[in-house]
Each structure stands twice: as C-alpha cells, then as structure tokens.
Amino acid sequence: MEPILQVKDLHVSFKVRGGEVKAVRGVNFEVGKGETIAIVGESGSGKSVTAQSIMRLIPSPPSLVKSGEIIFQGENLLQKSNKQMEAIRGKDIGMIFQDPMTSLNPTIKVGHQITEGLIKHQSLSRQEAKKRAIEMLKMVGIKNAEARFNQYPHEFSGGMRQRVMIAIALACRPSLLIADEPTTALDVTIQAQILDVMKDMQQKLGTSIILITHDLGVVAGMCDRVIVMYAGEVVETGTKWEIFKNPSHPYTQGLLRSLPRIDQSKDEPLIPINGTPPDLIKPPVGCPFAARCEHAMKVCERIDPDPTVFSDTHMARCWLHHPMAQEVKSS
Amino acid sequence: MKKQRWLVLLTLVLAVGMVLSACGSSNNSGNKGASSSTDTSSSPSSSDAGGEKLAADQTLRINFAADVPTFDPAQAQDNQAHTALNLTYEGLVRVDASNKEVPGVAESWEPSADGKTYTFHLRKDAKWSNGDPVTAHDFVYAWQRVLDPATDPAPAYSYQLYYLENAEAYNKKKITDFSKVGVKAVDEYTLEVKLTNPTPYFVNLTSFYTYFPVHKSVKDNPKWATDPSTMITNGPFTLKSLVTGQSMEFDKNPNYWDNADIKLNKIKATVVNSSATEVLSYQNGELERAGKPNGDIPADQLPILKDQYKDEFKLDPVANIYYYEFNMKAKPFDNAKIRKAFSMAISRDDIVNKVTMGGEAPAFGFIPPGIKGAESNYRDEYKDDFFTEDVEQAKQLLQEGMQEAGYTTLPPITLIYNTNDNHKKIALAIVDMWKKNLGVDVTIQNQEWGVFIKNRQNGDYQVARAGWVPDYNDPMTFIDMWTKNSGNNDIKLDNPEYDKLVADAYTNSDSKARMEAFYKAEKILIQDEAGVMPIYYYTQASLTKDYLKGVTIDYSGAVDYSRAYLTEHK
Amino acid sequence: MVRYILNKLFYMLVSLFILISATFFLMKAIPGDPFQSEKKVLPEIRARLDEQYGFNKPLYEQYLKYLGNVIHGDLGISMKHLNQEVSDLILKTFSASLRLGIVAIIVSIIVGVLLGMLAALYHRKLIDNIAMVLAVLGIAVPSFVLAALLQYFFAFKFHMFRVVGFENPMDYVLPVAALSAQPIAFIARLTRSSMLEVLHADYIKTAKAKGLNWVTIMFRHVVRNGIMPVITYMGPMTANIVTGSVVIEQVFGIGGIGKQFVESITNRDYTLIMGITIFYGVLLMLARFITDLLYVIVDPRVKLSSRKEG
Amino acid sequence: MSLESSAAAKQTATLTPEDFSKISPADKNSEVIHRESISAWKDAWQRLLQNKVAMGALVLLLLIVLAAIIGPRISKYSYDTNDLLATNQKPSAEHWFGTDDLGRDMFVRTWMGARISLIVGLSAALIDLLIGVIYGGIMGYFGGRVDEIMNKFSEILYAIPYLLVTILLLVVFEPGLGTIILALTITGWINMSWIVRGEIMQLKNREYVLASRSLGAGSGRLLFRHLLPNAMGPIIVTLTLSVPNAIFSEAFLSFLGLGVQAPVASLGSMVNDALTGWMYYPWRMLFPAILISVTMLAFNIFGDGLRDALDPKLKK
C-alpha cells in the first residue's frame, strides 16, 4: 500500500513553567491510502499532540517540534509556511475534535461553518457551497438538511454536532481525516452511529483516517492497524488482529484487560492499570512504563528498549522480548 | 427564530429612537446660544472714556456658580438672581459706585416732612424692552404681585415691602383691599408711597430687586420668567439665551433710556460651580472676572493668587458677618459666662491671617463696617470694642460659669456647620483653639445645608456656624433679627430691654437716636449676653482683568456689571 | 417575543413603582425643605407655600397625588427653578449629559475593545503589558483627580482645549477622556480575558483545521465571540457613566443632568429630585433591557425567556 | 510496511541476566505524582505563590495595612492637631509628607486616611459577603418559587440607581462612618448574592451533593459543608474586588461632600480637600492619591491573581 502520510522520528515539546514537557518522543508511523489506523493511549500519551502536529495546529509557542519529518503526499509538512499549510488544512487533511459541544462556533449558523471551507478551498460561489453543504449534511445522515443549514449549533444534539463536524472535515474531500477522539464525549449509542458515519464516508470518499482514541473497543470495529502510544513513545504497532490476539507490550495487554469482553466470566474482574504515567518534564531514562509494569525488570528502569519486530506489521518495544529475558524467565 | 430576531432588532431601534428624539428637541435650544455668539453687532463708540481706549469687542465673560433660579423679581432670593436682575431690570433708583442713590426709572423723588411719604417722579423716556413705556402703574402692579396672597408661589421676600403702609396686613390677608396699601400711581409718571414708619433708608431700598417693576403681560403667562423670548424687562440688558446649567447670554437693550452710557454689547456667563475650575478658566483667559459674589475662589489658592495676580486680585470689604451662634437654651451655653469664655478664647487674628487668608477684619461686634450710621459709617461712629481676646480671663470666666451652672466637667459639646471647605477649616481651627486654650473638647459635625439650617432654626444644636447678609443698608437689618419673636433668632435671645431698643428704633426718625439704640442693643447682644461669637467681617475675593473697568460692588457685596466696559488689551 | 417584552415591561413598572415610592418617602425624610434659607421665611408665607405645594396634607396624600400625576405623565413644576416644568428641565439638561455619555460610551467601547484585543493577541508580550498597565491605571485613579489633572495640564498648561465649555467638538475631548478612563480599563480587561478564552476555544481549532486564514478567523470567529462579555457590561457601564458624569459635569462645568441632580438634592427641589430619579431609573432599566436584546442578537444561544446571571 | 528495526539490541552486549530479574513492587521507584494528591485549595495557593505579580500585590497590601496600623504611631504628631504656624509646608525632615492647610502632619493623616479607607472598604465588602451569601445561598439552594421571588426582588432593587439611594441615605441619616458603610452596602450585596446563587445552583446537582443528600444530610449541613465551601472561589474573588470598589465609592462620596466627618479623613476626602489647590501644594494631593491608586491596583491585581489561581479552567 502506498503511504500518503509518513511520520518520522517526531519530537514535540512544550515549554512550561519549570521546564519542557517532552510530549512526543520519537514517533514513527505511516498511513496508507484508504487505510484507517488508530492511535491508542491514555490521556497524556502524546497521541493528540502527534495528530495536531500533523495539522500544525499546536500553538507555538509554547509547543515546539524539536525534530522529525511529517511527509504528506511526498512533502514535508513541517517545512511548509503558514500560508501553504492553510491551503492544505481542510482541503487535503480534515480534522474532527473530541468535544462536539465546543468545536463548533456557537454564534455562526451551522451551514455557514461548512461553506466557509468550501468557499475558501474550492472557490465555490455561496449558492454552490450551500448546495454542497446540504449535500454533505445529508451524507452524514442529518435529516431535513435544508432547514438545519440555517440553525445554530446549540439547536443540535451532541451526536448531530459531531456529524456536522464530520461534514465540515470532509466537505472538501480531503485524502486524510484525523479524528481526535471523535466519540469520547458521546453516549455509547451515539458513538456507534458516529463510527458508522465515518466508515460510510470513508467508503464513499476513499479517505484515509487516523483515529485517535483511548478506547480499544472503538478500534476493533473501525481500524486496519493500531498504534499504541505511551508517554510520548510508540510502544507497539500492529494490525488490529495482531494487537488483539497477540498483544506484546504489557501496556497493550493492560489496556486490553481493562476492556470488558463478551467471553468474560462474571467472576473475572476487569483489571485496571495501576499508577499514572510519568512526568514528561523529566522522562525516565528507562522504559517509561516500567514503574507501572508488573513484569518490570531491573533493565527496564535503566534502558529504554528498542523495538522488537515480530512481523512486517507488528512490533513492540519491551525488554520482555529480549532473548535474555526469555532465558531468565524460563530458568 | 428568524422572526423573533427581527422583532428584537425592531424593538431596539424603537427604543434608541425614543431616547434620541427626546434629546433632539432640546439640542436646538442649545445651539441657539452657540450660533449667536458669532455675531458681533455694532461695536461701541470708539471714543475714549476718560483717556482710555475701549476695546473693539465689548463682550464681558463672567461665571455664575449656579443657575439663576428665577428671573422674576418677585420671586428672587439669591446672589445669582441679584446679579442677573441688576442687569435686566431697573428700579426707581440705582446705587452708584460710592453707594449713593442715583436716578433710575425715577428722575427725582422727595420725602414728606414726617419722612413717611415719598413721591417719585418717573422719567418719560424709560421703556420696556418691547418699547412700551415704563409707568407708575407697572410699579404698583409689581408691588401688588409681591404682596398679593394669591400669588403662586408666595414670594418669600414679600416682607421687604412691609415698610409700605398696610402692606403686611394685606400680605397676611388681614385686609383684602389693595388700595389701602401705601402705594399709588398718582398719574402715569408719578408714584406715591406711604410708609408705616419713617424709614431713612427707604429710597436706597427701592434699588433692591423685590421693588423692581414688572411688565403687565406676565399676568397671563406663569412661565414668562423661564424663557428669554417672553421676558419683557426694563434694564440695560436683556436676556438673550438661557441654557440651564450651562450658560446665559445678555445683550445690550436698545430700548434702555440710558443706553448711551452702556458700553458692553454682550455679557456671556458660564455656569460652573467648581471654584477651582472657575479660577483656572479665568487664568486661561476665558473669563474677565472670577470670584465673589457669583462664584468663588478656593480658600487654598487665596494666598498664592494674591501674590501672583497682584493687580487683578481684589478683596472688597462687604457688610457681611461670619459668626458662631450659641444656643442659649441648650446646655452648657445657657450660661453667659461660659458663652463669653468661648468667645474670648479664640484668636480671630490667626483665623483671618492663617486660615481664611482673605484679608477679613476680625469682628468683635455684630454690625459690619460699610453699614451707614447717622453721618458716616456706623462702625466709624461706634467702635466694636465689646470685649477682648484673653485666654486667662476666658479660663477664669469658664470656671465661674461652670460653678454657677454646677458643672465639674462640661457636658459634651458639638459644633455644627454646613458642608463647605472654608467652614470646615474655620471650625477645625476654632475647635483646636478651644482645646488648647480652654482644655475643652468639642466635636465637629458637618451637615448638609438643608439638614443644617433645619437643625439650627429648630434649636437642635449647641454651637452653629452662621453668616448674615444685610437686606438693606442700615444697622436694623443686623439688630432686629435677635428680637424675641424674630424668625431668625436662632440663639433664642430673650432680652426685653433689647426688644424695646429695637421697637424704639423702628418708630424713631432721628438718626442719631436710632444709632444710639442700635449700639446699646449690640452691646447687649455681644457684651452682656454673648449670644453670638463674632468671628470676622467678610471680604469678597475676586479676580478682575485689568482691562475690565466700571464694575461696582455695593455695600452688601452685590455686583453691578451694567456700567462696566473693557479697555483695549492684548 | 411580545410576551417577553410585556413581562419585562411589567417588572420594569414594578421596579419603577418601588423606586418612586422609596425615593419619595426617603426624600421626605430628609430634614429641610425647599423654602429654607439662612433667612427664615415668615410663618404666614410659609403656611401659604405649604398650602400651594400641598405640604400641609398628610404624607400619604401627597404621595398618592404625586403618583397620580406621574401616571398621567406629569412630573410637576420645579420648586427651585420657579415655574419650570420638571420634564423640560430634565430634557434640557439631559441633552448635554446624553451627548457626553454617548460619546464616552462609544469611545470606551472602541478604545477598550482595541486595547483588549491587542493585549490578547500579543499575550505576555510588551504590548499586552502596556495595555494592561494602562487599563489598571484607569481603574486606579479616581475620576475627579483625573479630570482635574487633565484640565490643568491640557487646557491650562498646554492650551490645547478650553477649561470650560461644551459646544465645539474639541470641548468634548477632556471630559470624555476623564469619563471613559474607567470603562475603557474595564472593557479592555474584559475583552482581553474573553479573547484569550476564545483564542483557545475548540472552535477556533476547527476553523484553523478548515484552513481559514488568520484574518478570517479573527473577524468571523474570534472578535465576535470575544466581545460578547462586553455587551453584558453595557448595562453597568451605562450606570457607571451616568454616575461618573456627576463628577465630570461639575469639574468641567457642563450643564448636565448629573449636576442638576446633586443640586436638586441640596435645594430639596422635591419634584426635580423625583423627576430625575424616575428618569435615571427608566434610563438604566432601558439600558439593561437593550443590553438583553443586544445579547439575543449577538448570541443565538440566549433566548429571551431566560435571563443571564450576573 | 517497514518498521524501524535497526540494531534491535545495541546495548545488549552490556546486559547481564541480572538485569532481567524482576523487581518486586516494593522496590519500584514508582513515580509519585504530586499534582493529583494535593487538595484543590493547596493547589490554588501554590499557583498563587507562583504568580509573582499577584504575590507582589499581596505583599504591598499587607505593607499598606501594616503602615495604616503603625504609621500614625511612629510619628510624634497627631492627625487632628492644627499648627497654624506651619500650614501648607513642603515635605521635610520635620514633616515627611508636609502639612495641610491647617498645619496638620500629612504623614500621620495619610496613614490614618488609609486606615479609614480600608475600614470602609473591608467592612462594606464583608457586609456584602454576609448578606450576599445568605441571600444568594437561599436562592440557589431552594430554587423554584423562593428563588423566583427573591431573585425578582433583588433585580428590582438593582434597577434602582445606586448613586441616588446612597446620596439620599447619607443626607437622611447622621453622617459618619456607619452611614457611609450602610450606604455602600445597600445595593452592593446584590452582585454577591447573584454569584453565590449561580454557583450553588450549579453545584447542587453535582454527584457528591446528591450522594450526601441521599444519605440524609440536612439542608444546613449541605449548604454549609458541601455547597458553600465549593463555591468559595468566585466568592473570594468577588470579595477581593469589591473592597477597592467600596474604597473608590467612598472617595466619590467625599467629592460630593458626603464622606467621613472632619477631622477624621479618608484617602478620598484628603484627595478631595487638596483638589482645589493641588497645583500649589501638590504634596497634599500626591501622597493620598498615590496611596489610593496603589491600594486599588494591589487589590485589583491580587484579585485577578486569585481568580487565575482558583479558576480550574486555566489549569494546565
């Protein structure tokens, strides 16, 4: 599959009082055409920062891309001027945010929030843009779209607003959609609907999707590949099946264990991951997960492990896969 | 939804429109004054007056600290109205710079032998601003208006006319026939006035605004005195425009009989009640005159301005007195010795030299210099040496007084004054002197004017600040207020001998004997009873540009700008 | 909508009624009356005046009579400015206050919003600091001090303006500056914090994600939402400016209604006190009402039926 | 797909089996995260401590209060003793801040004035707080009809021009500190009550309140143990900002001649006294004017800092 986006060794930091939060520390991944990948992790794991870095939406200062490359359709986005980025945002890459209640401007009619991008990127007239916007609203499953066009965000429910956000993000038919926790703020029943809309739209438009979530349940229904992030690093990547069937990083395992499963017996409790992520102002020298890891070994605290590759698509960064670890364990 | 928002917008537009239209109408009247300021009409005869070259633009700019409450002579009561009415009206006589009566509407007058009847001969060329002649009937009408019980509102100064025979009875509804009142138009140009008592100062009195004539047209229009266009006046100037709280403009009256003597073309007045602003405005060349009586100069600035503007700064002694009243019915001031002790324990020199700094004269009596006596000034004829300041004697008097009244310590004492910077400073200084010299603690309390005056007049006080401005140029105006039944006797002086002296003075036509009576009365008031504590005789501080000439200030401090003029200046 | 306005109107009337009643009795409770002066009015004349003005009647009767007159739109005749209709006096003097007030309000909003926006855009930079120091000074210096200083320096020392006068456009500069210093400061701070909030709002991210350019984002999205709190401040600001103009009118000798009000109390000009009270009351209620309506226009989330807090 | 699979074990050479022994949970040098474990109040306090400008303002305020307390005592002069031989003196070694028009020492008077102004400001703010919290608390807690009626009442009261009521009150009652404070609080509490009402209304539907209620906590306990403490942030901020407001209003009343009784002075009345002659005796206005401005500034800045510290929206 031909990648439309490659993220190479991305480092992003935030300046705060008392130091620099190293939010993203050497992230690598790529997204293929028409592919849906998920970036999974707890809050603060750097997944949102990564996504927003692609769009160059993180405010700078205080944030700063220290190093790395983001190659989109063969061009490094990090070297684009603001003007050039404006031409890419919304047109080639669309984005949906977590909270549909706050992502729409409360004082502007919903329709106009959709047409704004169309008028800018596709030089449509107001009339044409309105036609397209109504079309989009219909596509994302909003009934009575003509009337809805003239309403304000507060007249929409949360789910409906997220549909509008999808319509906005996809109005210009971008080749990549970044969805930053699009369902987190929604009711469970609505979540499924939104995911369906996204899937449906992907089929219709052939868009690649980066889905950012902390919810592995969402991943299962939607994605081709999964990237697990922890403390600013990618700790495991793999296809959906590899991750679910054969999670190779204790953190991934932990995430899966904390998820209710249908085949789970009643007595088997859900197991949370104890502890909290490390302070990224002074990231640990070793494996960042060591402090919370039940399998932690002495080496974990000292040295951050390199990736262990299991297949073309599957890798994890964990000392447990080191040959020596296997020996110690079996001995 | 859409519809609703339109409705909102509509309501908004309507509401704003309402407000704007409300003020639009009054804007016009404001502009009237502004636009007329540009027309400089015929400049005065450039012939020089006594070697001085007149300025081409004879526009005088002055300030009034408050609006003129009324332009109706019958209703006027205050300084502002006094100045304005002196410009717009003229009575039977005028008072000149040396306080002498000179012909006004009356060309001449003569008293009868008993001093109870005056006959005024009116000039034939006196005209109202609309061209009508001013006749004796206009005076009769005006005076009847003042005295008529039906006049609404009742003129508070009607008592100024009580010298006329039966005037008081008519005003108090004891008689209803006005023809019994002592004023009669013998013919168009002869006015005969009968008085109850011989009143040597009566002619002078007719220069006072309550005695001014009023045009008969006012009968049908109760609002005539609020609008320049309906004011028909007979003075040297007419009111041209009036913007409440903002400005007034007076134009020279072409119909005035003596307009050849009137050199000013126009008088523009601002209405600013901040004395600091007034002085700044003067310093900035926006006024030709600032200060009393219509405005004020901040006490803080007096000593500085006195030096900085040596040629422009003026302190005119005026026949007003600043004093404290002791409530003779309230403890501990029901004891004469205590009152006297307090009065003797302060340093009036310090107050005028270091506190007020307005060149006032320390007062040891009650009748100010500038009030006429038998021959010359009363104060020149009778010295105010009723007591001297003496701390030791004051202490002793206080001891004696306390013993008489049976005090070991004095009850708490509060001094009240009405809110004003100058009163405050004086009060603070005096209280401090009492403390230092007598060892007495006195609390001071400032009260808002209305509250203060109510308390004082009701006798709800121990010591109160007071001031008195004469109604006419005779000691009587300072003396008859302390008779038992006088409404102004706030100290509650009750001295039969005093009352008898006043009664005698009323009926006596012999000047010398009257003055003698006043002196005896004053002695009772200040020396024996010590019911009031005189502090100083006022001066009036003002700043006058050196090119402004001919402004006259009368004995009471009232100002007359009608004969003023501007000489050439930069 | 109509129902909302009627409801609002009803409560305004209730407020007005309470205001009138409270002021009436409070005013009558003040010692003194319009006829008092250093020289006491003769008792007979006094009695006649009392009769003419109805002061000899029991208080409740005077009150009911006044209320009746007000309902018929009659504010009566001033007791000090003889024979002048109170309504005339109010309109005449309000003309000056309105001119001063409107200019001050406009200046406050424009300068305040601009300062606030600059400060927000250059957050934590020099411009921000300068703007905020200015804003804070506006809050910290009493208006009567500011007025006196402005007058002294700019009119007297530098001869740039007249000390007294209110006719030419130039005459407005100093009083307006003194009067709007505080509202400017307030609006600038309000705008700054609200702009900062808006700048960090999610929907601004959405707008950026759409690829809109900076200018469009600023004008379509940021400014409109950022100045919304300023609208809520319009009501209190009107009150502030009306109150503040009492001082400014005194210092600059402007014949406005504020000066008139203070004088009317000193003079115990009952009818004028009541008239101005009612006028102020209606004015402020109207200002608040208009603010509410404005808010509805600017913010589609606000419905007329639900009032905003604070 | 090519994964980054370069030298998977660059340091493997130095590793020993010992490195791969498991660490017991007890030995873990687990990350102790401080942020979550401290209470919201301490958290706010720490944020405040970090805000240098706000802390500067607080220190300044404390200094002013201190000076207002001891300032008049360290001088040999008394605030109300006249010295007519030494009026309007420039600042000197004898009189640090000069003297006024009656020769009174300006240093003592300035600090006495500060004392009075602070008393007025603080008392007015505290009374506003008391009435506002009770009234607003009742409105917010009971809601419904009670709220509707009480709220309408406060709205009606709020519609009455404050200046008017204040002036009338000051003229009706005996002038003095008490009357001024009364006049300032007569409508001052309304704003506070609305803030309290809004907070309580928001809070009372929170889970912990519902939980507490379901456990049978009484109204009083709920209001005072659960609701008010949690509404304290906005209340404190409003309180801080209403102190300078009251000080300013008193100054404004002084300008109209309705301030405190002489010889007692507030900063406002001193400025007003000096206003007519300030161009000749600038020190008489300068010291009290600067002090009043600095006080206003400090309260405002500190209030802003408090708001920032207590506002969870700005938490990073």
Question: For residue B14, what pLDDT band results from cuts at 50, 70 and 90?
Answer: low
Question: For residue D28, what pLDDT band results from cuts at 50, 70 and 90?
Answer: low
Over 70: is that where the pLDDT of D31 sits? no
In this predicted structure, what is the pLDDT of residue B213?
A: 96
In this predicted structure, what is the pLDDT of residue A266?
A: 61
Alpha-carbon distance of B71 to B228, in angstroms, equals 9
Question: For residue A269, what pLDDT band results from cuts at 50, 70 and 90?
Answer: low
In this predicted structure, what is the pLDDT of residue D229?
A: 76
In this predicted structure, what is the pLDDT of residue A265?
A: 61
pLDDT digit string, tens, across residues A282-292 = 788 888 888 88
**Cross-chain residue pair B300–D276, CB shorter than 8 Å:** yes
Dihedrals phi, psi of B463, to nearest 5 degrees: -125, 135
Question: For residue D38, what pLDDT band results from cuts at 50, 70 and 90?
Answer: low
- A15 close contact with C: CB closer than 8 A: no
Task: Chain C: list its partners (3+ Cβ pairs within 8 Å).
Answer: A, B, D
For A268, the token pair is: 């088997």
Is residue B69 within 8 A of residue C81, CB to CB? The reply is yes
A131-145, B231-245, C90-104, D10-24: which range is least confident on average? D10-24
The architecture in CATH of the region C88-309 reads: Orthogonal Bundle (1.10)
In this predicted structure, what is the pLDDT of residue A305?
A: 85
Is residue B194 within 8 A of residue B170, CB to CB? The reply is no
B243-257, B275-289, C250-264, D113-127: which range is least confident on average? C250-264
Over 80: is that where the pLDDT of C50 sits? yes
In this predicted structure, what is the pLDDT of residue C303?
A: 63
For C29, the token pair is: 């409770």
Average pLDDT over residues B421-437: 91
In this predicted structure, what is the pLDDT of residue B467?
A: 92
Residue of B nearest to D170 (CA): B448
Average pLDDT over residues B173-197: 94
Alpha-carbon distance of B200 to B474, in angstroms, equals 9
pTM of the entire structure? 0.82
**B449 contacts on C by Cβ (under 8 Å):** 32, 266
Alpha-carbon distance of D292 to A55, in angstroms, equals 51
In this predicted structure, what is the pLDDT of residue D3?
A: 39
D8 closest CB neighbour out of A278, A306, A329: A306
Q: Decide the pairing of beta strands A36-40 and A208-213.
A: parallel
Over 90: is that where the pLDDT of B1 sits? no
B454 closest CB neighbour out of C32, C253, C304: C32
**C151 contacts on B by Cβ (under 8 Å):** 277, 280
Over 50: is that where the pLDDT of A313 sits? yes
Alpha-carbon distance of B23 to B2, in angstroms, equals 33
pLDDT digit string, tens, across residues C147-164 = 999 999 999 999 899 999
**D80 contacts on B by Cβ (under 8 Å):** 428, 432
Is residue B425 within 8 A of residue D102, CB to CB? The reply is yes
Average pLDDT over residues B403-422: 91
B31-35, B287-291, B300-304, B387-391: which range is least confident on average? B31-35
Task: Chain D: list its partners (3+ Cβ pairs within 8 Å).
Answer: A, B, C
Over 60: is that where the pLDDT of D141 sits? yes
- A302 close contact with C: CB closer than 8 A: no
D159 closest CB neighbour out of C246, C247, C285: C285
Report for A267-271, B410-414, B553-557, D300-304: range of highest mean pLDDT = B410-414
Question: For residue D26, what pLDDT band results from cuts at 50, 70 and 90?
Answer: low
In this predicted structure, what is the pLDDT of residue C307?
A: 43
Order of strands, edge to edge, in the sheet holding A63-72?
A19-32, A3-16, A63-72, A75-76
Report for C235-239, C269-273, D51-55: range of highest mean pLDDT = C269-273
The number of angstroms, rounded, from the C-alpha of B409 to the middle of its chain's C-alpha atoms is: 41
In this predicted structure, what is the pLDDT of residue D39?
A: 66
Enumerate residues 6+ apart whose C-beta is below 8 A from C119: C127, C128, C131, C132, C135, C188, C191, C192
Give the whole-number percent of chain A exceeding pLDDT 70: 93
Report for B447-451, B534-538, D130-134: range of highest mean pLDDT = B534-538
Q: Give me the residues paired with residue B64 across strands.
A: B271
Over 90: is that where the pLDDT of B250 sits? yes
In this predicted structure, what is the pLDDT of residue D4?
A: 40
Question: For residue A2, what pLDDT band results from cuts at 50, 70 and 90?
Answer: confident
Over 60: is that where the pLDDT of B22 sits? no
Give B24→chain C minimum CA distance, Å.
8
In this predicted structure, what is the pLDDT of residue A60?
A: 66
| ipTM value for the complex | 0.79
A18-32, B255-269, C183-197: which range is least confident on average? A18-32
In this predicted structure, what is the pLDDT of residue D10?
A: 44
In this predicted structure, what is the pLDDT of residue B50?
A: 56
In this predicted structure, what is the pLDDT of residue B16?
A: 54
**Cross-chain residue pair D171–B451, CB shorter than 8 Å:** yes
D194 closest CB neighbour out of C137, C246, C309: C309
Q: What is the DSSP letter of D162?
A: H
Average pLDDT over residues D279-301: 90
Q: In chain B, how long is the greatest CA-to-CA distance? A: 94
pLDDT digit string, tens, across residues A222-248 = 888 899 988 888 889 998 888 888 888
Average pLDDT over residues B189-217: 93
In this predicted structure, what is the pLDDT of residue D50?
A: 81
Alpha-carbon distance of C302 to D85, in angstroms, equals 67
In this predicted structure, what is the pLDDT of residue D9?
A: 42
- A62 close contact with D: CB closer than 8 A: no
A79-88, C20-29, D223-232: which range is least confident on average? D223-232
**Cross-chain residue pair B275–D175, CB shorter than 8 Å:** no
Give D291→chain C minimum CA distance, Å.
10
Over 80: is that where the pLDDT of D54 sits? yes
The candidate with the shortest Cα–Cα distance to B151, out of B206, B75, B70, is B75
Question: For residue B46, what pLDDT band results from cuts at 50, 70 and 90?
Answer: very low
3-class SS of residue B515: helix
- A16 close contact with D: CB closer than 8 A: yes
Round the average pLDDT of chain A to a whole number and report it: 83
Residue of B nearest to C30 (CA): B451
Question: For residue B255, what pLDDT band results from cuts at 50, 70 and 90?
Answer: very high
Task: Sketch out chain D's domains with CATH numbers.
Answer: 40-75+97-314 (1.10.3720.10)
A160-164, A206-210, B160-164, D311-315: which range is least confident on average? D311-315
The candidate with the shortest Cα–Cα distance to A74, out of A172, A5, A164, is A5
Count CB-CB contacts under 10 A for residue A106.
16
Question: Peptide bond before D234: cis, by omega within 30 degrees of 0?
Answer: no
D156 closest CB neighbour out of C14, C140, C148: C14
List helix spans (H) across D75-176.
Answer: 106-142, 144-159, 162-172
In this predicted structure, what is the pLDDT of residue B468?
A: 93
Over 90: is that where the pLDDT of B465 sits? yes
In this predicted structure, what is the pLDDT of residue A1?
A: 57
Alpha-carbon distance of D272 to D257, in angstroms, equals 9
CA atoms within a 13 Å half-sphere pointing along the CA-CB vector of A70: 19
Question: For residue D11, what pLDDT band results from cuts at 50, 70 and 90?
Answer: very low
C225 closest CB neighbour out of A105, A120, A169: A105
For B525, the token pair is: 């008031």
Give D136→chain B minimum CA distance, Å.
31
The number of angstroms, rounded, from the C-alpha of A282 to the middle of its chain's C-alpha atoms is: 25
The candidate with the shortest Cα–Cα distance to A205, out of A2, A10, A36, is A36
Alpha-carbon distance of D90 to D86, in angstroms, equals 10
In this predicted structure, what is the pLDDT of residue B43?
A: 42
- Domain(s) labelled CATH 1.10.3720.10 in chain C stretch across 88-309
3-class SS of residue B474: coil
In this predicted structure, what is the pLDDT of residue C289?
A: 82
pLDDT digit string, tens, across residues A174-188 = 888 898 888 877 777
